[in-house]
Structure 1
């Protein structure tokens, strides 16, 4: 699994141009919101937003900037989940899920110290992940994936509960984004 294949999957899932009335993000093309496109130099109509620009933004903003590429060196399946969650919820939310899960799985800070849950992957998060994987072995990555998917599912339900318009998306989020 490469970042190119992960981006292909997101592009397939997100489709082309969408402007769903219940989506606070407004217009999107290939899953990129108009706000993100504009903040990164695109000035044209979203219906014409080029797929090459979407690919570049996914790589830069949702893979490299949050350091999911560094996670991939240690746990590629985990990195793929964080990328997909980051596309849907924001990279900082996905990174915070990882940090929360690692803190909860460190056996009272005996395996590695707790870290701040700041949504930023740096040396401390990477060291904790490496220590967790070393301690738990091959099954550790699968357990982290379950923990992150549980946090993700809880967030989706909370979003639907807090804003009834989000109920339009809940089934798809649960069906297509978890597992």
Structure 2
């Protein structure tokens, strides 16, 4: 609608330098608009799928006016037209609101924060945290972290225990990369049409924690 602008299009993350750097890295990986027939997320822009946009549209109302701020064309629904209107700034705002802030990723040790953000954007918050919990459990003789996708007190405490080890974070990053690769391969096995994406996914997994 002419003359209107959704608040999601205006930067919401202030001067958070760490987030800004990580978000730029993810944007470079994700690229722009795509609508691949094998992509179960449907139309996608900057890593934001139509399926995700619709789900978040039920939650994000920055104006508190009862209208989803992700209805970017103001036509009363969230559809492919809204994906195509999504800007880089709006995508970064969604990275920030839905993952960085919602999961309090800024409280995690450096490098694993970026790895979890990347995987949350790519595969969802629950999957990203479950991989983190499995990666942490690889340190224990008896794995005791519940793999439930909840980035709670026990998981956060374990991360800082691991950081206190001499090579704790590099080892954790290595574990996390392996967990991501396992997950990607499992997706391709379960749904053969996803194999077309597997090479890129594996390359992505092996770069996690580089920034």
Superposition TM-score, scaled by structure 1 size: 0.87
Counterpart contact for 1:66–1:92, Cα < 8 Å:
no
C-alpha RMSD over aligned residues: 1.6
- Structure 2 counterpart of 1:5: 21
Match of 1:121 among 125, 140, 151: 151
- Structure 1 counterpart of 2:87: 50
Counterpart contact for 1:66–1:95, Cα < 8 Å:
no
Query: Quick check: 150-159 or 62-71, which moved more?
Result: 62-71
Listed as ranges, the matches of 1:1-179 within 5 Å are 2-38=18-54, 39-40=56-57, 41=68, 42-43=70-71, 44=73, 45=81, 46-71=83-108, 75-108=109-142, 114-134=144-164, 136-137=165-166, 139-179=167-207
1:31-53 superposed Cα distances (whole Å, 9 cap, x missing partner): 11123223333223121112222
**Partner Cα separation in structure 1 for residue 119 and residue 106 of structure 2:** 14
**Partner Cα separation in structure 2 for residue 36 and residue 156 of structure 1:** 19
Q: Gaps (5+ residues) in structure 1? A: none
Q: Gaps (5+ residues) in structure 2? A: 1-16, 58-67, 74-80
Question: Per-residue deviation at 1:142?
Answer: 0.5
